[in-house]
């Protein structure tokens, strides 16, 4: 609320006051009516506005001179509207601040979720690796237990020939377990031709593993009684080879002599040629012909 001065003010001040009065007086009307078409300010309208401003100026001057000052008050609805706008503005600012906080929380949660996903993936990989290693260790422990367990003397099939064939097939894919199966044949069917052949096959497996000492024992067991079987001639040469490898030259030459006396006549040409080559390599004496 303000009071106009009693003395005549300048035209600019009066026009300003007039504008305030017009705006305050028409606020309610503008709020309740549709927007008016914009005024085209040409020369005629400007002159009319100037005349109206002069009339209002004279009226205000007369009222002030008569002791009746003009008081300009803001429309209550305008004040109330301004208050509501201020409240809405504060609420909007609060909402913006809340949205910013929520966005910040969402960004942190997203980052934490990404970290958790990466941690879970890494943990899953480590868990799978641990499970794989555990299975490998369990398998190794199981196999070690099987290899160290006493060899069974019970026939798995009840037939010596089928036992030997199954053990030979297993030895081709798993030499360690195949040797145990061949040992089972020797224990379950002692003295049989199949048991002697199993001993010969055990000797071959041990040679392939570099165990020439064990191979000597297996070959010697296979040739006990000098069996007349197709594999006996080759096994005799293998026995001579492992004897020589263990610095038992005399025994190796004796084995070659036994080959000549017992198996050379029925052996194939490649086997006889190998025997001759070994005799020369070992510098063995020429065997005496059998009487």
Q: What is the mean pLDDT of each run of 10 residues along the chain (291 residues)?
A: 42 49 46 62 82 84 77 72 84 90 90 89 89 88 83 90 95 92 94 94 94 94 93 96 94 94 92 94 76 49
Do 70 and 165 belong together in one domain? no
Residue 9 lies in a domain: yes
Do 66 and 180 belong to one domain? no
Q: Which two tokens stand for residue 98?
A: 């809340």
On whether both 164 and 278 belong to a single domain, the answer is yes
d(CA 113, CA 108): 9
Which among 74, 109, 127 is the end of a domain?
Answer: 74
Structure tokens at 277: 């080559």
User: Per the domain annotation, does 112 fall within a domain?
Assistant: no
| CA distances to 52, 230, 255, 267, 289 from 263, in Å | 149, 9, 11, 6, 13
101 falls within a domain: no
Q: What are the tokens at 17?
A: 């006051």
Sign of torsion over alpha carbons 162, 163, 167, 168: negative
CA–CA separation, 112 and 277 (whole Å): 78
Domain-embedded: residue 228: yes
Is residue 274 domain-resident?
yes
Where is the domain boundary, 74, 109, 136? Answer: 74
Q: Which residues of 37-51 are buried (b: 16+ CB within 10 A; e: fewer)?
A: eeeeeeeeeeeeeee
Q: How far is CA 225 from the centre of its chain?
A: 63
How far, in Å, CA of 156 to CA of 189, rounded? 12
pLDDT of residue 18: 46
Total number of domains constituting the chain: 2
What pLDDT does residue 285 have? 84
Output the CA–CA distances (angstroms, integers) from residue 249 to 163, 226, 242, 288, in the order listed: 36, 21, 10, 18
CA 214 to mean position of chain CA atoms:
47
CATH number of domain containing 196: 1.25.40.10
Say what the pLDDT of residue 148 is.
Answer: 82
Which pLDDT score is estimated for 70?
A: 66
The contacts of residue 29 (CB under 8 Å, 6+ apart) are none
Structural domain of 54? 2-31+47-74
At 250 the pLDDT is: 93
CB-based contacts of 149, cutoff 8 Å, min separation 6? none
In a domain? residue 144 = no
**Residues 166, 157: contact at Cβ < 8 Å?**
yes
- Residue 148 lies inside a defined structural domain of this protein: no
Q: What is the 3-state secondary structure (H, E, C) of the chain?
A: CEECCCCCCCHHHHHHHHHHHHHHHHHHHHHHCCCCCCCCCCHHHHHHHHHHHHHHHHHHHHHHHCCCCCEECCCHHHHHHHHHHHHHHHHHHHHHHHHHHHHHHHHHHHHHHHHHHHHHHHHHHHHHHHHHHHHHHHHHHHHHHHHHCCCCCCCCCCCHHHHHHHHHHHHHHCHHHHHHHHHHHHHHCCCCHHHHHHHHHHHHHHHHCCCHHHHHHHHHHHCCCCCCCCCHHHHHHHHHHHHHHCCCHHHHHHHHHHHHHHCCCCCCHHHHHHHHHHHHHHCCCCCCCCC
* The predicted structure's pLDDT at residue 233: 95
Residue 62 CA to residue 215 CA, distance in Å, equals 142
Residue 114 within a domain: no
């Amino acid at each position: 609320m303000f009071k106009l001065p009693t003395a005549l003010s300048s035209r600019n001040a009066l026009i300003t006051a007039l504008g305030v009065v017009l705006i305050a007086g028409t606020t309610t009307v503008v709020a309740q009516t549709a927007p008016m078409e914009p005024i085209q300010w040409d020369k005629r309208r400007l002159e009319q506005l100037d005349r109206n401003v002069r009339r209002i100026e004279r009226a205000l001057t007369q009222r002030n001179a008569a002791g009746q000052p003009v008081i300009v008050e803001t429309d209550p609805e305008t004040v109330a509207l301004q208050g509501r706008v201020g409240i809405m503005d504060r609420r909007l600012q609060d909402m913006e601040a809340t949205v910013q906080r929520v966005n910040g929380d969402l960004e942190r949660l997203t980052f934490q979720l990404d970290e958790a996903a990466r941690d879970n993936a890494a943990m899953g990989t480590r868990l799978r690796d641990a499970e794989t290693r555990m299975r490998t260790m369990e398998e190794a422990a199981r196999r070690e237990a099987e290899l160290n367990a006493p060899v069974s003397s019970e026939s798995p099939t009840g037939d010596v020939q089928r036992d030997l064939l199954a053990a030979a097939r297993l030895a081709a894919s798993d030499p360690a377990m195949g040797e145990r199966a061949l040992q089972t044949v020797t224990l379950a069917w002692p003295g049989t031709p199949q048991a002697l052949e199993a001993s010969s096959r055990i000797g071959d497996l041990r040679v392939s593993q570099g165990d020439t000492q064990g191979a000597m024992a297996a070959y010697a067991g296979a040739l006990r009684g000098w069996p007349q079987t197709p594999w006996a001639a080759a096994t005799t040469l293998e026995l001579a080879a492992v004897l020589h490898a263990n610095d038992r030259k005399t025994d190796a030459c004796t084995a070659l002599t036994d080959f000549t006396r017992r198996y050379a006549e029925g052996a194939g040409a490649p086997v006889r040629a190998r025997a001759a080559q070994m005799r020369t390599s070992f510098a063995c004496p020429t065997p005496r012909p059998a009487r």
